[in-house]
Chains A and B, each alone.
Chain A
Amino acid sequence: MELDAVSQPELEQIERVGGADLVIGILDAESMKENGSAISVMRDALAELSKPLRAMVVCNNGTHGPAPATDEIDRDKQSPAMFSCSLPAPTPGSTPQQNISNAYRTVFAVGGKLGVRACGVIASPSESATRRWIYRLVQPVLDLGFDLVAPCYTRQKMEGLLNRSVLAPLHQALYGQQLQNPLGPDFGLSGKLLQKLLIQDAGRRPGLELNALATIAPTAAFGGFQVCESHLGIRTQRPTDWGNLSSLLSEVLGAVFLEMEGRAAHWQSIRGSKPIARLGQAEMISPDTSATVDVHDMIESFQLGAKNLQDVWGLILPPTSLLELRRLSRLAEDQFRLPDQLWVRIIYDFALGHRLRTISRDHLLRSITPLYLGWIASYALEMRMAGPSEVDARIERLSRAYEENKSYLVSRWRWPDRFSP
């Protein structure tokens, strides 16, 4: 992670500041427009902390140009000293996930340069990210000694489905930590963890850096860092771009599978998982009954995939999984259920196929889309009348399936040529 992307005036400003206790990254441009200037928002948020701090705010000020010089002005002895610099403009043609990853790198680089004690990054859309979030992400690091504060959001049952179906249970099974959102995107980090991430990233060749978001939680899990979760409340989700769902899956799962490959020696020896400390109170919301999910199109997509992608899936999945999928594609809509064991093995086989490069990685990751839609349809049908506790129990059951089938993954990972029925 380097400061190459940061403009010269910004670098000079960082040099002038010299050192700071805290770096805060606000990656969403709109948040500052709505909530006033970054400095005033941060000052309000950090005023609640036990001792005054020197803080650098890295944010998208809408222009991506140098921020106006911000020195320690208008402050009394008890309020935090605030400085700001702007995020570089996103690289043309890069995807939203890449933009977030690059912005994270810049914030980390600025934090490393200033030798900060803590770092907080908010990448969620502005509507949901509040001043309180900054406090909740940073305070456990500064006052309680945690190294990583992962977010815990209050969600409706049909929100965060990629997290629920793959990211969280896979992280739990591989790394033994029960995190709700292992890929954030809002995190609080200690200076120690920040330095570790910077060193780790410096060891990689330029252009081969991993997605910054996918690296944070596994690094904390294996580096002996203290991890906790903090309740942040409701997170407004961006409208789903169904046309680009395969790109999203390809980017996110590609990053997770790469991380998984790099840490294979570590996760193979981990058995079971342990809960992580959760700070704060979960916000209660009434179940959203007005929005209904149309599963018809999803099942149709799954059936189309099962009809046309057998050749592609046949290179990745074992014959029993293919048979099961073919059987599922013939079921009536109301009987459509994708068993947990089958789903878990599909994910494990795709991770293995990604590692072995059985087919082009892009083809492999995109061909998972109909299967994912099948899982969503099955989950939506199963949870149609379910309340929050039933949803939690359902996800808990899926996480257990991931853990129980880990031996299958380990065995196939070690001996991929061995026949698997």
Chain B
Amino acid sequence: MWDQVGQALRLSMTKMLSQLASLLPGIVALLTALILSAIVAWALSLVLRRSLAHLDFDRRVAQWGLPALAEWSPSSSPTRLVTRAIAAIIIFIGFLIGISAFDGALPSQFVIRLFAYLPDLMTALVVLIAGSIIARFLARSVLIGAVNMNLQYARLLSVGVKWLVTVLAVTIALERLGIGGGIIRLAFGILFGGIVLALALAVGLGSKELVSRSLEREASKTSNPQMKEPVGHL
């Protein structure tokens, strides 16, 4: 009986070791793919960083009205953000190649699902970028308009508008990605409503002075119709 037990153990050990041995080339292949992809990523990011620096990419991004990109970037440099993103994508591709060395079916299924998800991911990215640009443009319009109207809470209005658009863009992007579902919609409703209410209260309370000033001006004009406006521009 002990002989049979020993034989079973030897067999299982042999099986286990042979299975482990069969995995070894896959592990080596994965490591090789990762190392190679890391080298390619490093080389490519180096070339890309130099090219973007030559094109003065950071300054141009600020000029195009995308300072949000700089805010999210490491060391506030959009060039670094772009190069690191490219490097990460290359390493990820290397990882997928390495994984396929273990089992051909597993990564291919994964890749199929990934590619099916890609259009949604791209749409979400475009929505986020467009939302950021629109938010910034509208925030600046509101800020300049409010300052020209002599509104003391101009900055608050501008920030409120920026957040409204940003929240809207993020919600659309998340919905597109299928993350959160009903919770996101609910959270969006609460946040959007909250911001609108806060802005309405701020504008309402802050406008008291503006309205009274305007009424005073009108009243003085009515009481003295002969009063001449001394300032002319053209």
Interface residues of A (CB under 8 A from B): 155-156, 158-163, 183, 185, 237-240, 243, 245-246, 248, 252, 288, 290-293, 297, 300-301, 304-305, 308-309, 312, 358-360, 363, 366-367, 369-370, 376
Contact = CB atoms under 8 A, between A and B. Distances in A.
B154 to A, nearest CB: 5
Nearest 6 A/B pairs, CB to CB: A291-B230, A237-B232, A159-B232, A162-B233, A246-B148, A158-B230
B234 A312 contact: no
Contact of B234 (A158, A252, A363): A252
Given A308-B154, A360-B137, A160 B232 contact: yes
A291 B228 contact: yes
A359 B230 CA distance: 34
Interface stretch (B16-24, B70-78, B109-117, B138-146): B138-146
Contacts of A246: 144-145, 148
A370 B148 contact: yes
B231 A158 contact: yes
Contacts of A358: 63
Nearest to A357: B63
Given A160-B233, A308-B147, 18 more contacts: A155-B232, A158-B230, A159-B230, A159-B232, A163-B233, A240-B229, A240-B231, A248-B233, A291-B227, A292-B230, A301-B147, A301-B148, A304-B150, A309-B147, A312-B143, A363-B140, A370-B148, A376-B231
B207 interface: no
Contacts of B63: 358
Contact of A304 (B137, B154, B230): B154
Given A160-B234, A163-B234, A185-B234, A305 B147 contact: yes
Centre residue among A163, A238, A293, A309 by max chain B CB count within 10 A: A309
B59 to A, nearest CB: 9
A322 to B, nearest CB: 16
Interface residues of B, number: 23
Contacts of B25: none
A379 to B, nearest CB: 10
A360 B65 CA distance: 9
Nearest to B63: A358
18 contacts: A156-B230, A160-B232, A160-B233, A237-B229, A237-B232, A240-B233, A245-B233, A248-B233, A248-B234, A288-B230, A291-B230, A301-B147, A305-B147, A308-B147, A312-B140, A312-B143, A360-B137, A363-B141
A139 to B, nearest CB: 25
B149 interface: yes
A185 B234 CA distance: 9
Contacts of B143: 308-309, 312
A293 B233 contact: no
Contacts of A183: 234
A301 B230 contact: no
A185 B149 CA distance: 28
Contact of B144 (A248, A291, A312): A312
Given A162-B234, A248-B233, A300-B150, A309 B228 contact: no
Nearest to A304: B147
A301 B231 contact: no
B176 interface: no
Nearest to B230: A291
B49 interface: no
A376 to B, nearest CB: 7
Interface string B124-166: 0000000000000100110111011110101100000000000
A187 B234 CA distance: 15
